[in-house]
Amino acid sequence: DTAVSQTPKYLVTQMGNDKSIKCEQNLGHDTMYWYKQDSKKFLKIMFSYNNKELIINETVPNRFSPKSPDKAHLNLHINSLELGDSAVYFCASNQNGQGMGGYTFGSGTRLTVV
Amino acid sequence: DAKTTQPPSMDCAEGRAANLPCNHSTISGNEYVYWYRQIHSQGPQYIIHGLKNNETNEMASLIITEDRKSSTLILPHATLRDTAVYYCIVYAGGTSYGKLTFGQGTILTVHP
């Protein structure tokens, strides 16, 4: 069983489109995250949810809107996609909101905007 | 969270120990040292973490100096599958709410 699963794995779309990436974890963790890895391979946190509550919202354009219907799911919706949004997006989860212990990451969604 | 400094790249022969250093001279007393790795095209993988004492698990050992200003991750018998980018992160938890700050890491290449 995959602990943190993301769909889709690859996403190619045109500028201006709206797309969603889904994430699910079956670990019973309380906290979920979205990280972005750009072309220079830097990993940066975007959002964090603890028990469906938004905890961290980094300086991310408001075109990005996370949604957590329950603590096992965290989806990322992106409006009006731009070329600069092309990156690999990783979902992660952690047992508690303090972030202690290890994170479990998904395998990533490679988004390409053309 | 404190910054860390790692060498950009290292090589290791298969079967030998890989020792990856990390400097964290401004670490605070409540900050842990975490190590993650990212194998090409995969998500980061948690390896180990520690506060003061040396730690060992099935993947690696973590040696933290007495002054806690540096640490070394040891892969005792490196294999080709250990080729990855290794990230050293210091993190206190609490109000950071899981905001891990990844640096550039060390690219470890294990060769036959």
Contact across the interface for A103 and B36, Cβ inside 8 Å? yes
Residue A1 has pLDDT above 70, yes or no: no
Cβ(B55)–Cβ(B48) below 8 Å: yes
Q: pLDDT value at position B91? A: 85
Of B65 and A97, the one with more pLDDT: B65
Please give the biggest Cα pair distance in chain B.
Answer: 44
The span from the CA of B83 to the CA of B6, in Å, is 16
**Digit-coded pLDDT (tens) for A57-105:** 887 899 999 999 998 999 999 999 999 999 999 999 988 766 667 899 9
Q: Which of A2-16, A34-48, A95-109, B75-89 has the lowest mean pLDDT?
A: A95-109
Interchain contact, B98 vs A103, CB within 8 Å: yes
Kindly tell me if the per-residue pLDDT of A3 is higher than 70.
Answer: yes
| Structure confidence at residue B12 as a pLDDT band (50, 70, 90) | very high
Return the residue of A nearest to B97 by Cα. Answer: A98
Average pLDDT of chain B, as a whole number: 92
A18 burial class (0-12, 13-18, 19+ CB within 10 angstroms)? exposed
- pLDDT at A6 exceeding the cut of 90: yes
CA distance B92 to chain A (A): 8
- Check CB contact of A93 with chain B, cutoff 8 Å: no
Beta strands in A18-97, from DSSP E residues, in sequence order:
19-25, 31-37, 43-50, 53-57, 64-70, 73-78, 87-94
Distance, CA of A17 to chain centre: 18
In A, which residues are within 8 Å of B87 by CB distance? 43
pLDDT, tens only, A21-37: 999 999 999 899 999 99
More confident residue, B103 or A13: A13
Q: What is residue B100's predicted lDDT score, i.e. its pLDDT?
A: 83
Cα–Cα nearest to B33, from B59, B8, B5, B13: B5
Give the chain A residue whose CA is nearest to the CA of B95: A98
* Residue B1 predicted with pLDDT over 80: no
pLDDT digits (tens, 9 = 90+) for B17-43: 999 999 999 998 888 999 999 998 899
Residue of B nearest to A40 (CA): B104
User: Does residue B93 belong to the interface with chain A, where contact is any CB pair within 8 Å?
Assistant: yes
Separation of alpha carbons B30 and A113, rounded Å? 42
Specify the 3-state DSSP secondary structure of B12.
strand
